[in-house]
């Protein structure tokens, strides 16, 4: 039994024909202890998909799927109370901006204890001790003192560690990290990623890392999914993906990394914009207007996500052949 | 925290001084000189008038007069009424409990129903409940208090009197005339309980209901609207998303995470409401013949009893400043960033 | 690449809504349309009052004291009935609208002009002028608005002009604070710093950069202040401190109506209804304007 199984996930905002398709037909599978990276730019639907999983999408958003299962438990038709028992305990999420993601009116100690009280209640003292342990486990110096600190008194990096502490408080089986380092200093970014990796190994957690930063993803992911305009366009083991991307979009993402560009020259960037609502309804390849390999067939039909001749999963009728 | 409190108190001093200036000038701006007002008929006697002027110190330069006024005020001497000859401060203290009781109940009503309506409207945003609540709030704060009071009398007293005479609410005074309570605290409800006079307590309560309802309507409407908008804003914040992601019950998310942060602007609004509340008290006391400082001040204006006007304004302004100080302190309590920053 | 600061700094206009945007917004709110229609109708009635009324509002018809209105068996002669001195209520209400609207407009203008100036000055010269002005406003704000108007009227005497002065004074701190806050916010923005570096003078900054951005919130403030002014003016009338009888001011009409609650209730609820519907309509318009012009202040 897989840790996570998502089949044909759709997330739409609004109703009827003009609804915005944030996620279109996402399939995803994650095994215990595996690290999955989801990359894509803003508007690709990567965050929305995971929030739909957590049940965080509110009206006018609508979530539909064929299957949404976590450790075999059906999340799709789960009653709200049943879902709430899993969220925050076995399945938790860490968000992008740690300082605003923590409640400014309460100390971080009380916010961690709140998670414990909800899912693993114990005596007040025991929970306080556990909170302190958690802060220490995420590498926060002087954890006891920090319990009484307010979010605005901590740096971004410390807040993010605190949020991670909160997320792993009940030893989750899966941790979703949505752009955990984007709002942080570069120096701190590496520390947080190392921390996530360390925790994952220690607790044998599944980890989903969402990022638009390929460098970060390449460091720790086993497998990577590339998303564009709500669709998965490529899926492959990390090393293979970065060595030889098959989808033009993946190639473009790799080409845009500063390290891959000659010094002094302008950075490579893909011309055009991410498809808006109207374009997403069209029956053609969503990358067609930005792709330099576009052909007539690309405009006739939306390509499916399929295995190509080399056994790679790509959504393109003319995938790249390694290194092009 | 202490330095925060001291800092806030320090900022009040210039404002308070400013108010004493205004109160001081009121006496001097009123047409007709104070000496004549005090002497009444005897003012035609020029010698008497001049000696009165000397006695009142009105021949001294303005700055000296102001100094005298300020020192007298700080010692608690606010002059005496021209009509009743009673010291202003004493009369104020005698009548103030009535107004305080009224405004306290009005404010309690406003907070309970305002917060309740606002929270419900925010949680059920867009529903019929939300729109009716906000329509009610809009009417509540567009209604002139004096008219609402008259209508309330029409419906709840006269109207009920025709149909359900037992439920008709009284509309005059604080308690039925037959009860003769010895004033201990000045608060009818408290005094009647202290003297174990339950009939008197019920009478006092029934007398309080209508005026408190009328006075509290405007603050309730403002609080309801503010609560709703504040909660809706907070609900969009990232930390509310985190709270949901922790698997907390929706009620806990609303009350512990959303409301707690939404309270900050609501508290500010509550502070700003004190002014209109006292102003409304003036009108409400007029309609319901409530013997408080509102009615006292209005009568003073009609009778040109300027010491009451002066002293009353000063005391009320001091009260408003004090309440605003409490609000600022409460604000600091609610919002840790203000305390530390 | 050479950077050049444009001759006229383009100011992003918070009120970028064109007329069609306004119409789109209104279409979805029948309440707003009703409110606007009501206000326009009221303005027209006030303007054409002499031609619309049947009788002189201060004329007393001795044989028709406390006549009932049409819906209580009255005649078409006095459709809304008469008051205790035999004056036609409908005419008095219509003329009353003149007073309320006039007081409202003039009081707001009287508050806006000095208020905006003071607010700007405190923003541009925060150290002494700004501090002084703000403390003065604090003092004005320490007094409950009604009591302040009462005090002013007590000092200056009752009557129309003094009512306007009193109400304008009460609105002043709000305008000053709002202007100052908006101005400070604008001054902190980068394009102002850029203009300053390019050598723009204070006056230029004032009129081209800061003032246009203060207008939207000021419009909202003015609209809501208008309704407060009407309420306050009527309150003063009710207390016998505003327009004096026989002036047909709505609040003054309510004052003399108290004694007739039981016998002739129309004398009570008609003037009050006039006040409330006008204030309600203006508040609705104010809310709508706020949604349009200053989304940060949204109540919706």
Tens digit of each residue's pLDDT (9 = 90 or more) over B235-249:
989 999 999 999 899
Q: Torsion angle, CA of A177/A180/A182/A188, rounded to 10 degrees?
A: -150
Kindly give the residue spans of alpha helices, DSSP state H, lying in A99-178: 108-119, 124-137, 143-146, 156-167
Nearest-5° angle of CA B100, CA B101, CA B105? 110
What's the rounded Cα separation, in Å, for the pair B174 and B288? 9
Question: What is the widest separation between alpha-carbon atoms in chain A?
Answer: 68
Residue C15 has pLDDT above 50, yes or no: no
Q: What residue segments make up the domains of chain B, in order of their start? A: 15-74, 88-334
What tokens were used for B11?
A: 């900022």
Specify whether the CB–CB gap between A164 and A94 falls below 8 A.
yes
Specify whether the CB–CB gap between C101 and C44 falls below 8 A.
no
Put simply, the answer to whether A54 touches B260 (Cβ < 8 Å) is no
- With a pLDDT cut of 90, the percent of chain B lying above it is 18
Put simply, the answer to whether A100 touches B247 (Cβ < 8 Å) is no
Task: Select from B214, B212, B217, B205 the least CA-distant residue to B113.
Answer: B217
What is the pLDDT at residue C10? 32
What's the rounded Cα separation, in Å, for the pair A208 and A106? 28
Residue A12 forms beta bridges with which residues? A21, A62
Question: Does C159 touch chain B if contact means CB atoms closer than 8 Å?
Answer: no
With a cut of 50, list the residues of chain A below it in pLDDT.
323-324
CATH topology of domain B88-334: MetI-like fold (1.10.3720)
What is the pLDDT at residue B227? 92
Tell me what percent of chain C is helix, strand and coil, each rounded to the nearest 5: 70, 0, 25
Task: Select from C271, C281, C278 the least CA-distant residue to C90.
Answer: C271
What tokens were used for B6?
A: 């001291």
Q: Write out pLDDT tens, residues B220-234.
A: 999 999 999 899 989
- Name subunits touching A (3+ CB pairs < 8 A): B
Q: Other CB atoms closer than 10 Å to residue C226's CB: what's the count?
A: 25
Task: Select from A77, A75, A33 the least CA-distant residue to A54.
Answer: A75
- Name subunits touching C (3+ CB pairs < 8 A): B
**Rg of chain A, C-alpha, whole Å:** 21
Question: What is the widest separation between alpha-carbon atoms in chain C?
Answer: 89
In the numeric block, the tokens 């201990």 are attached to: B184
Q: Using CB atoms, which residue from B242, B260, B337 is nearest to A95? A: B242
Quickly list DSSP for B305-331.
Answer: -HHHHHHHHHHHHHHHHHHHHHHHHHH
Cβ-Cβ contacts under 8 Å, C132 against chain B: none
Highest mean pLDDT among A59-68, A149-158, B24-33, C215-224: A149-158
The Cα of B173 is separated from the nearest Cα of chain C by a number of Å equal to 16
In the numeric block, the tokens 């202007």 are attached to: C179
- Name subunits touching B (3+ CB pairs < 8 A): A, C
What is the pLDDT at residue A93? 93
What number is the average pLDDT over the span B127-145? 90
What is the pLDDT at residue B42? 65
Nearest-5° angle of CA A135, CA A138, CA A142? 45
What is the pLDDT at residue A114? 93
B302 compared with A128, residue with greater pLDDT: A128
B282 compared with B306, residue with greater pLDDT: B282
What is the pLDDT at residue C5? 37
What is the pLDDT at residue A177? 93
What's the rounded Cα separation, in Å, for the pair B135 and C29? 13
What is the pLDDT at residue A260? 75
Quickly list DSSP for B47-71.
Answer: HHHHHHHHHTTTTS-HHHHHHHHHH
A227 compared with B328, residue with greater pLDDT: A227
What separation, in Å, do the N-terminal and C-terminal C-alpha atoms of chain A show? 38
Question: Does C144 touch chain B if contact means CB atoms closer than 8 Å?
Answer: yes
What is the pLDDT at residue B239? 93
What's the rounded Cα separation, in Å, for the pair A213 and A251? 14
Which of A161-175, B129-143, C23-37 is the least confident region? Answer: C23-37
What is the pLDDT at residue C209? 72
What's the rounded Cα separation, in Å, for the pair B211 and C86? 32
What tokens were used for B323?
A: 């309440």
What is the pLDDT at residue B195? 73
Q: What is the mean pLDDT of chain B?
A: 81
Length of chain A: 324
- DSSP three-state, residue C249: coil
Residue C267 has pLDDT above 90, yes or no: no
Residue B110 has pLDDT above 90, yes or no: yes
Residue B216 has pLDDT above 90, yes or no: yes
Cβ-Cβ contacts under 8 Å, B335 against chain A: 104-105
Question: Does B233 touch chain A if contact means CB atoms closer than 8 Å?
Answer: no
Put simply, the answer to whether C261 touches B143 (Cβ < 8 Å) is no
What is the pLDDT at residue C298? 40
Q: What is the DSSP letter of A302?
A: P
Cβ-Cβ contacts under 8 Å, C227 against chain B: 142
What number is the average pLDDT over the span B14-27? 79
Q: Supply the angle between the helices B260-287 and C145-156 in degrees, to the nearest 10.
A: 40
Cβ-Cβ contacts under 8 Å, C294 against chain B: none
Put simply, the answer to whether C254 touches B277 (Cβ < 8 Å) is no
**The model's pTM:** 0.82
Q: Where are the beta strands (DSSP E) in chain C?
A: none
Specify whether the CB–CB gap between C266 and C287 falls below 8 A.
no
What number is the average pLDDT over the span B113-121? 93
Residue B196 has pLDDT above 70, yes or no: yes
Task: Select from C9, C92, C105, C13 the least CA-distant residue to C56.
Answer: C92
Residue C75 has pLDDT above 80, yes or no: no
Put simply, the answer to whether B248 touches A84 (Cβ < 8 Å) is yes
Specify whether the CB–CB gap between A9 and A65 falls below 8 A.
yes
What's the rounded Cα separation, in Å, for the pair C13 and A315? 44
What is the pLDDT at residue C2? 34
B175 compared with C81, residue with greater pLDDT: C81
Cβ-Cβ contacts under 8 Å, B139 against chain C: 276, 280
What is the pLDDT at residue A39? 92
Q: What is the mean pLDDT of chain C?
A: 79
Contacting residues for B122 by C-beta, under 8 A, at least 6 apart: B130, B227, B228, B231, B232, B235
What's the rounded Cα separation, in Å, for the pair C293 and A172? 47
Q: Using CB atoms, which residue from A83, A89, A102 is nearest to B239? A: A102
* Per-residue confidence band for B5, with pLDDT thresholds at 50, 70 and 90: confident
């Amino acid at each position: 039994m897989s840790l996570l199984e998502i089949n044909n996930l759709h997330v739409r905002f609004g109703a009827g024909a003009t609804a915005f398709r944030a996620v279109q037909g996402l399939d995803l599978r994650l095994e215990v202890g595996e690290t999955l990276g989801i990359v894509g730019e803003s508007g690709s639907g990567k965050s929305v998909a995971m929030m739909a999983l957590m049940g965080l999408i509110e009206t006018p958003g609508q979530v539909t799927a064929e299957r949404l299962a976590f450790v075999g438990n059906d999340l799709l038709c789960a009653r709200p109370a049943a879902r709430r028992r899993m969220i925050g305990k076995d399945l938790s999420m860490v968000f992008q901006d740690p300082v605003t993601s923590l409640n400014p009116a309460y100390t971080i100690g009380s916010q961690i204890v709140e998670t414990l009280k909800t899912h693993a209640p114990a005596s007040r003292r025991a929970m306080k001790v556990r909170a302190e342990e958690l802060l220490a486990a995420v590498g926060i110096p002087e954890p006891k003192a920090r319990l009484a600190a307010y979010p605005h008194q901590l740096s971004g990096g410390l807040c993010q560690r605190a949020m991670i502490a909160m997320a792993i408080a009940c030893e989750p089986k899966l941790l979703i990290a949505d752009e955990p380092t984007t709002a942080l200093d570069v120096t701190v970014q590496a520390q947080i990623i190392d921390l996530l990796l360390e925790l994952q190994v220690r607790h044998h957690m599944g980890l989903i890392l969402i990022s638009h930063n390929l460098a970060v993803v390449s460091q720790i992911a086993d497998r990577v999914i590339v998303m564009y305009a709500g669709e998965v366009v490529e899926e492959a083991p990390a090393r293979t993906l970065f060595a030889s991307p098959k989808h033009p979009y993946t190639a473009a993402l790799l080409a845009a990394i500063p390290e891959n560009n000659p010094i002094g020259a302008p950075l490579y960037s893909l011309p055009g914009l991410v498809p808006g609502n109207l374009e997403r309804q069209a029956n053609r390849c969503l990358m067609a207007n930005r792709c330099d390999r576009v052909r007539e067939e690309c405009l006739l039909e939306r390509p499916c996500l399929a295995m190509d001749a080399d056994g790679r999963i790509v959504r393109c009728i003319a995938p790249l052949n390694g290194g092009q | 925290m202490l330095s925060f409190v001291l800092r806030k108190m320090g900022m009040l001093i210039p404002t308070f001084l400013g108010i004493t200036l205004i109160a001081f000038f009121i006496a001097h701006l009123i047409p007709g000189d104070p000496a004549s007002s005090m002497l009444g008929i005897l003012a035609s006697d020029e010698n008497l008038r001049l000696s009165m002027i000397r006695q009142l110190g009105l021949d001294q330069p303005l700055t000296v007069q102001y100094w005298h006024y300020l020192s007298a005020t700080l010692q608690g001497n606010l002059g005496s009424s021209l009509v009743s000859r009673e010291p202003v401060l004493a009369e104020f203290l005698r009548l103030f409990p009535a107004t305080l009781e009224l405004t306290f109940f009005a404010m309690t009503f406003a907070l309970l129903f305002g917060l309740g309506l606002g929270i419900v409207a925010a949680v059920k945003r867009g529903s019929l409940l939300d729109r009716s609540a906000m329509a009610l709030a809009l009417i509540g704060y567009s209604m002139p208090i004096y008219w609402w009071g008259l209508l309330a009398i029409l419906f709840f007293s006269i109207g009920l009197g025709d149909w359900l005479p037992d439920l008709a609410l009284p509309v005059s005074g604080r308690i039925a005339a037959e009860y003769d309570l010895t004033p201990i605290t000045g608060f009818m409800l408290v005094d009647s309980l202290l003297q174990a006079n339950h009939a008197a307590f019920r009478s006092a309560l029934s007398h309080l209901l209508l005026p408190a309802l009328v006075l509290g309507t405007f603050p309730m409407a403002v609080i309801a609207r503010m609560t709703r908008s504040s909660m809706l804003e907070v609900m969009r914040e990232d930390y509310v998303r985190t709270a949901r992601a922790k698997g907390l019950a929706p009620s806990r998310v609303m009350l512990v995470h959303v409301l707690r942060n939404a309270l900050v602007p609501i508290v500010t609004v509550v502070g700003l409401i004190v002014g209109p509340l006292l102003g409304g008290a003036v009108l409400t006391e007029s309609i319901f013949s409530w013997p408080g400082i509102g009615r006292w001040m209005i009568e003073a204006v009609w009778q040109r009893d300027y010491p009451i006007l002066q002293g009353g304004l000063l005391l009320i302004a001091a009260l408003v400043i004090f309440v605003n100080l409490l609000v600022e302190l409460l604000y600091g309590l609610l919002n840790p960033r203000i305390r530390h920053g | 690449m050479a950077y050049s600061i444009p001759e006229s700094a383009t100011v992003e206009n918070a009120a970028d809504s064109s007329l069609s945007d306004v119409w789109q917004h209104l279409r979805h709110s029948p309440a707003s349309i009703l409110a606007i229609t009501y206000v326009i109708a009221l303005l027209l009635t006030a303007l054409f009052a002499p031609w619309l009324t049947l009788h002189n509002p201060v004329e007393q018809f001795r044989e028709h004291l406390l006549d009932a209105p049409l819906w209580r068996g009255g005649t078409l002669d006095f459709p809304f009935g008469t008051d205790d001195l035999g004056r036609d209520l409908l005419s008095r209400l219509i003329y009353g609208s003149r007073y309320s609207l006039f007081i409202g407009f003039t009081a707001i203008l009287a508050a806006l002009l000095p208020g905006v100036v003071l607010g700007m000055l405190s923003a541009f010269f925060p150290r002494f002028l700004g501090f002084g002005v703000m403390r003065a406003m604090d003092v004005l704000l320490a007094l409950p608005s009604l009591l302040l108007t009462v005090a002013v009227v007590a000092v200056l005497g009752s009557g129309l002009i003094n009512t306007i002065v009193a109400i304008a004074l009460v609105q002043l701190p709000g305008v000053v604070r709002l202007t100052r806050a908006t101005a400070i916010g604008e001054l902190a923005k980068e394009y102002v710093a850029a203009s300053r570096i390019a050598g723009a003078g204070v006056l230029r900054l004032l009129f081209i950069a800061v003032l246009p951005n203060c207008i939207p919130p000021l419009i909202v403030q003015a609209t809501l202040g208008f309704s407060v002014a009407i309420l306050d003016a009527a309150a003063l009338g009710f207390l016998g401190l505003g327009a004096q009888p026989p002036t047909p001011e709505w609040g003054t009409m309510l004052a003399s109506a108290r004694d007739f609650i039981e016998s002739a209730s129309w004398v009570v609820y008609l003037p009050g209804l006039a006040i409330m519907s006008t204030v309600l309509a203006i508040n609705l318009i104010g809310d709508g304007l706020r949604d349009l012009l200053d989304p940060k202040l949204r109540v919706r």
